[in-house]
Amino acid sequence: MRNSVALIIIGFLIGVIALVTWSLTHPRETVGDVTAFEQALTFSSQSRSRTTPTTTIPDAEDHADAATTLTDIPGFTIDVHPQGHNRIPVGLRIPALDKVASVIPAGVEPNGDMEVPANVDDVAWYKYGSAPGEPGSAVLAAHVDLAGQGPGVFFGLRDLEPGSTIYVDFDDGTTGVYEAKARKTYQKEDLPSDAIFSREGPSVLTLITCGGDFNRSLRRYDSNVVVYAVEARTGSTPFYDDATLPAGSAPDGA
């Protein structure tokens, strides 16, 4: 009798300890200074109209070459180098997740959502936005999982910790090295899409997938997991580390 009760108590304790340990160590919804990224990208997006400096009276020299005739329209093919990028991403490697994936250009679905590859092992680059290394947020999106295909490239994205290295391979043979800085799980209706898809401001690599709770009848997650990364070469970015934040605002998460 006593042994049996002890067994029950031991079992109970193991369960409690395991759950407490897990709840203390499992990936948090928000890590790193997400707000710095949201603000830096959103602010630059709002200041879009101020990019052209005010001219009083134009200079004659400025217009000698300003003629635009039809032949001057860039002849780029929209699916290869949209918006005239010098290089576009073709591969993504995240050692911390043990993932290597192809990156393919993606646009917009008829309903206005971003296209995400039908293959759960591929990563989409938002071809109308910035490419990695350019001003603004370069968006790479992939499925967390797909019905019938199982877990995808970004299945582990919600566990990707700040400091993790991300490699982006470009079509010109170069590779960009990025460092994850912050991560947040947003309810889909709260996704700061103007910041995430900003084409101006600091150069940010933004990884995005689904997460949160899954609605089995709609087959839909209620949240997006977003990881913000910056080029690792410089180690930090001015907007991220200096005092662009209101005094006293601590990094999110606990």
Partner 1 sequence: MRKAILAFVALMMLVPGMALAQSSDGVVTVVHGVPDLDVDVYVNDALTLPGFTYGTVTDPLTLPAGDYDIDIRAAGADASSDPVLTELVTLPAGANATIEANLDGDGGPKISVWVNDISAIDAGNGRVTVRHTAAAPNVDILANDGELFGNVPNGAEGVADVPAGDYNVKVTAAGDASAVVQEVPALTIPEGTNVIVYAIGDLAGGSFQLAVQSISGLHSAPTGVPSGTGGDLGSNLPAWLVVSLALAATAMVVGGVKVVRERS
Please report, as residue ranges, which positions from 67 to 86 form the binding site for partner 1 (by CB under 8 A).
67-70, 72-78, 82-83
Q: Using the rule CB under 8 A, which residue among 1, 24, 243, 250 binds partner 1?
A: 1
Of 90, 98, 88, 221, the residue nearest 157 (C-alpha)? 98
Can residue 125 be called a binding residue for partner 1 (CB under 8 A)? no
For residue 159, what are the contacts with CB-CB under 8 A and spacing of at least 6?
Answer: 27, 97
Can residue 111 be called a binding residue for partner 1 (CB under 8 A)? yes
Q: Using the rule CB under 8 A, which residue among 15, 95, 163, 238 binds partner 1?
A: 15
Q: Using the rule CB under 8 A, which residue among 40, 103, 116, 205 binds partner 1?
A: 116
Q: Which is nearer to partner 1, 17 or 177 (CB)?
A: 17
CA torsion 194-137-150-110 (nearest 10°) is: 50
Cβ contact 202:44 at 8 Å? yes
Can residue 89 be called a binding residue for partner 1 (CB under 8 A)? no
Can residue 235 be called a binding residue for partner 1 (CB under 8 A)? no
The residue count for binding partner 1 (CB under 8 A) is 91
Cβ contact 161:124 at 8 Å? no
Can residue 247 be called a binding residue for partner 1 (CB under 8 A)? no
Q: How far is the CB of 109 from partner 1 (least distance, A)?
A: 8
Token pair 């947020």: residue: 137
Instruction: Count CB neighbours of 201 within 10 A.
Output: 23
C-alpha span between 195 and 193 (Å, rounded): 5
Q: For residues 136-175, which are near partner 1 according to CB under 8 A?
A: 141-152, 154-156, 158
Can residue 88 be called a binding residue for partner 1 (CB under 8 A)? no
Q: Which is nearer to partner 1, 76 or 249 (CB)?
A: 76
C-alpha span between 55 and 72 (Å, rounded): 24
Q: How far is the CB of 203 from partner 1 (least distance, A)?
A: 17
Q: Which is nearer to partner 1, 104 or 232 (CB)?
A: 104
User: Two tokens at 81?
Assistant: 């180098």
Of 53, 39, 86, 83, the residue nearest 198 (C-alpha)? 39
Q: How far is the CB of 52 from partner 1 (least distance, A)?
A: 5
Q: For residues 173-212, which are near partner 1 according to CB under 8 A?
A: 188, 191, 193-194, 196-197, 199, 208-211
Select from 6-14, 85-93, 160-168, 172-180 the region that touches partner 1 (CB under 8 A): 6-14
C-alpha dist (Å) from residue 239 to 30, 33, 34, 39, 195: 19, 11, 12, 9, 14
Q: Which is nearer to partner 1, 99 or 143 (CB)?
A: 143
